[in-house]
Each structure stands twice: as C-alpha cells, then as structure tokens.
Amino acid sequence: MRYIAAFATLVAGAAFVSAAPTCASRQYLDAATGLCKQCPTSTMTCSSATVAITCARGRYLTSTKQCVTGNACPSGTFADSATTTCKKCYGANVGKCKDATPTGATACVSGSCLSSGKCLYIARMLPTTFCSNGIVTACPNGASRCDSTGAVMSCKTGFNLAASGECVQCTGGATWNSATKTCDLACRTTATTHYEPDREESVIDSTAQYLDSATQTCKDCLDPFAKSCGNDGRATACLTEFYRGLTDEGTCIRCNTKPGYYLDDDSGKCELYCPSAQWNWQSTMQTGVAQYAVNGVCVDCADPLAYTCKNGVTGSCVPWAHLENGVCISWWVLLTHQQASRRAESCRCLSPCRAALSPTNNGTLPRRRACRCATSSEGAQ
C-alpha cells in the first residue's frame, strides 16, 4: 500500500508540470497569475516586467537589469557593443568614457577634471593648471600658480606679474619697474652730435628714440633732426646746432628758410624777428618802441620804456630806465625818489623848537624862537 500511494503522488506532480504553459518569444511567465506576459519592447528576453535578461538591438543591459540606449548608460559606464551591456569605465572618478581603457574617459565626476582621457582629482592637479569647463587647462604663460578661474597668482622665475594680470618677461634690454609694474625699455631718449673741425659743421652720432607701446620696441624719432620726441614719435626738441626750430606739429625746420625768422635759443623754436626799442643819442629821444611776435605779427610791448619784451613781458629797458619788478622806471624818476627818501631820513624837525638867541642889545632883548631841521648829529643829542 505504501508504494502504491507514493506512485500516485508522483503521477499527480507530473500532471501539474505538464499543465504549466510554454511562453512565446519575448514573453515571460507571470508567477502570480500563471500566465505568459509580454516583455518590455527594449528587451529581447526577460524574467519579469522589470528584469531584463537580454536586450533588443541598439539597447544595452545595465547592472540593474535594465535595457537602455547607448547614451543612457549610467554614469561611470559605457555602451559596449561587444557584450551589449553598459560596461564599467576604468576609473572610479570617471563620469563618462568611450571604453574601459585607462585613457578612455570623456567626462569626469564632480571634483575631478579631464586630462588626455584621464580623470584627475582637482586637489591633486599641478599648480600651473586649473579646471576649466571640466578640462585641465594650463595657467597663462609664465604663471607658476593660478586660481580656479585661471587668474594668475604668481609668476615663474624670470617673469613678473604686470598690472594687467599677465606674467611678462622683460627682454631687449628692458628692466622691470616694480612701481608701475611694467617693463621699461632704456631707449636713447636724446640725440648725440659732435663737431667736425675739418668740415666746420656738426655731425649726428645717434638719433633720438621713443618707446613704441604697441610693439614694446625702441624706434627712431620721426624727424632725424629731433633732439628728443614723445611717445608718438613727434619731436619735442630739435638739434639747434643745425639751426633747426621746433614747430607746433612736432617737426624740425631750418629757421632761415622762413623770411624774417630766427632760432630762439630759449624756446628752441623759429621766432619772428621783431625790433627792439630805438632812440636818437643826440636828442636822447626815443624813436621806436620795442615789439614782440604774436601769431606771426609784431606788436608793441606794453611798457613804453622796454628795450625788449617777450610774450608781452618786459625783458630789458632803454638806457635811461631801470627794470624793477618787471616794470621799466625812468632814472630821473628813480633819482628823484631816492633823493626825497634820503632827505626824509636825514632831516627831521626838532621838537620842541630849539631857541635861537639874538646877539643884539647884549642879549637883553627877548629871545626869538625858530624851528629848523636838525642834522643827524643834532638829532642824536
């Protein structure tokens, strides 16, 4: 009887197994209902609606048994066409990669930066680099350290941090000016000449130069007869030994090429010649007033006793006048004034008046009083 019961149980189990349905391709047996259900369209085979076994064409199996497109593989993985799976990248700090090789990274996770297919931790990057848009970038040229934005913090040996924030290297004889934070080029600011006795003329040894800010090089002044010039190359002074005068346009011209002009030693410019004061020695009468140039025209000096004047200011006086505080004073006026001053200093009236005895009548007549100026000796009594 025992054997008969066991056989019956075996037969019943076999009947149940044979009763389970066989699911079609891309279906799975739902254990809860015992029915075959369709797998998601992204899968080829699956064990449930949420667990994929293999994926459809163009889909890749993730570690969580999901089928995704190649660009949807989770961070740190890539679509491996050989296995149709999202395969893990090489480094733990790799965000995206093209393969599993050590140089296959294409993007990094936060805190890391991409450099030649590798993800470097920002904290371990060289001080001469910074992370720009997720990519390791070199600091500006000459920098020994820069911040996270690429701004220079310090420069390498031989470079200096300029006011512009760049590391500059002074070349071509230029020296670093720490006050202005610029490279100052020692240009030849003044022309040099020497006199040739045999030729009886001066010769230019070297022309003046200026610093061209655009190229940071020394260039010759635009006018070869310039003694010096400004930053634009125009002359600021001329070589007077060549009888050259400075124009308002910054050029040097020969003064004798302009009729009536001469080279003024004080201004270094070609000035219009205007006459000085004139007079007749026999009659001691002044026959002409001094003049000075204004916009190419000679005008009279304001002081009638001026012998010369410049820009309206008296420079010297006629022989019978004295220059005092910029004004010509006639000697006659000056002498009269001086005599009056000396008389006022040496002569003072006595007070009270000193009595003068009359010699008549044996001194018995009343004394007559008289006031007079005392001499210096009397005043001291």
Task: Give 131-169 pLDDT, tens digit per residue.
Answer: 999 999 999 999 999 999 999 999 999 999 999 999 999
Residue 106 vs residues 19, 102, 103, 193, 344: alpha-carbon distances, Å: 54, 11, 9, 68, 108
Structural contact between residues 189 and 208, judged by C-beta atoms closer than 8 angstroms: yes
Residue 220 vs residues 193, 225, 234, 309, 348: alpha-carbon distances, Å: 15, 11, 10, 37, 75
Q: Which of 378, 308, 317, 322 is nearest to 349 (CA)?
A: 378
State both tokens at 359.
């010699």
* 29-68 as b/e: b if 16+ CB within 10 A: beeeeeeeeebbebbbebeeeeebeebbeebbbbeeebbb
**Location of structure tokens 């010649």:** 273
Structural contact between residues 278 and 286, judged by C-beta atoms closer than 8 angstroms: yes
2-16, 33-47, 246-260: least confident range? 2-16
214-241 per-position pLDDT tens digit: 887 889 999 999 999 998 999 999 998 8
Cα(287)–Cα(275) distance, integer angstroms: 12
pLDDT for residue 77 = 96
Task: Look up residue 205 and give its amino acid.
Answer: D
Q: Which of 29, 56, 52 is nearest to 41 (CA)?
A: 56
pLDDT at 368 over 80: no
